[in-house]
């Protein structure tokens, strides 16, 4: 494509060529005209190619921007999913633990590419200490802790560690309860023996002692235990 200046110059040379009476001059002008035409043609081709090159660069830049936006969208989606998972997990613990939860859920945050903060970790503190001087209440407490541990759908390794602690607490409380009931039965048997001795009925004494001890073991033979597979997530 010729520029306006090129067209004007070409027309002027053609006019000089037409008016010239000298053969040598006409030849030189013809040669000059041909060179000018070639130069103008090349300039036009360059002018056409430059916009195409600019368009190609702009297209590549647009594709790179689209890729970056896609990665950011994926990262934001993952952060949103994690945020929802952690919040649901910790709230499940709190809902079941009740009074044994010693704190609200504590969260850790990560800032996303959109500038927002998303929850990526959390913890709930649970009281796993035994109830003083009350093994039966301790067993019941351990059962609640186990239920709180099983509340989330995705218990972690930390869950299982706390559950093991609750299980141990329940076992110890069960042994204490067994001992207390045996002591109570023995005291009752001693009282029966004293009464039987005064009545001088030996056979009755033996039956009373045996029956009291059997009842004592029967009372504590079955007591609630915390499953070893129970878990409580204090930290995600």
* Mean pLDDT over the full length of the chain: 75
In the predicted model, is pLDDT for residue 80 greater than 70? yes
- Residue 155 confidence (pLDDT): 86
Give me the residues paired with residue 118 across strands.
Answer: 110
pLDDT band at 123 (very low <50, low <70, confident <90, very high): very high
Query: Which comes out higher in pLDDT, residue 89 or 40?
Result: 89
Contacts of residue 53, defined as CB under 8 A and 6 or more positions apart, other chains included, come to none
Query: Which comes out higher in pLDDT, residue 142 or 59?
Result: 142
Contacts of residue 63, defined as CB under 8 A and 6 or more positions apart, other chains included, come to none
Query: Which comes out higher in pLDDT, residue 207 or 159?
Result: 159
Determine phi and psi for 126, rounding to 5 degrees.
-120, 135
Express each pLDDT in 37-51 by its tens digit: 666 566 655 555 555
Min mean pLDDT across 99-108, 168-177, 189-198, 218-227 is at 218-227
Residue 197: how many other CB atoms lie within 10 Å: 11
- Residue 88 confidence (pLDDT): 96
pLDDT, average across residues 152-180: 90
Residues in the chain: 236
- Residue 233 confidence (pLDDT): 47
Express each pLDDT in 2-20 by its tens digit: 555 555 555 655 555 455 4
pTM of the model: 0.56
Determine the Cα–Cα distance for residues 12 and 35; give it in Å rounded to an integer.
Answer: 14
Contacts of residue 144, defined as CB under 8 A and 6 or more positions apart, other chains included, come to 96, 97, 98, 100
Query: Which comes out higher in pLDDT, residue 162 or 235?
Result: 162
Secondary structure string (H, E, C) spanning 122-185 = EECCECCCCCCCCHHHHHHHHHHHHHHHHCCCCCCHHHHHHHHHHHHHHHHHHHHHHHHHHHHH
Query: Which comes out higher in pLDDT, residue 1 or 192?
Result: 192
Tokens standing for residue 49: 């190619």
Most confident range (mean pLDDT) of 58-72, 94-108, 155-169 is: 94-108
- Residue 224 confidence (pLDDT): 47
In the predicted model, is pLDDT for residue 57 greater than 70? no
């Amino acid at each position: 494509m010729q520029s306006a200046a090129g067209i004007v110059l070409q027309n002027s040379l053609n006019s000089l060529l037409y008016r010239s009476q000298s053969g040598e001059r006409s030849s030189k002008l013809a040669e000059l005209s041909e060179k000018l035409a070639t130069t103008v043609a090349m300039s036009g081709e360059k002018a056409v190619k430059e916009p195409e090159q600019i368009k190609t660069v702009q297209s590549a830049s647009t594709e790179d921007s689209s890729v970056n936006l896609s990665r950011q969208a994926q990262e934001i989606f993952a952060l949103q999913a994690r945020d929802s998972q952690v919040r649901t997990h910790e709230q499940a613990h709190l809902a079941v633990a009740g009074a044994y939860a010693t704190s609200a859920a504590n969260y850790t945050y990560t800032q996303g590419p959109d500038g927002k903060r998303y929850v990526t970790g959390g913890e709930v503190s649970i009281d796993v200490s035994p109830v003083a001087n009350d093994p039966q209440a301790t067993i019941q407490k351990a059962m609640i802790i186990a239920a709180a541990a099983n509340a989330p759908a995705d218990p972690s390794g930390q869950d299982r560690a706390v559950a093991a602690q609750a299980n141990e607490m329940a076992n110890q409380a069960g042994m204490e309860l067994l001992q207390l009931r045996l002591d109570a039965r023995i005291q009752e048997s001693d009282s029966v023996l004293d009464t039987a001795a005064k009545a001088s009925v030996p056979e009755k004494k033996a039956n009373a002692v045996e029956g009291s001890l059997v009842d004592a073991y029967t009372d504590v033979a079955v007591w609630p235990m915390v499953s070893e597979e129970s878990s409580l997530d204090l930290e995600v």
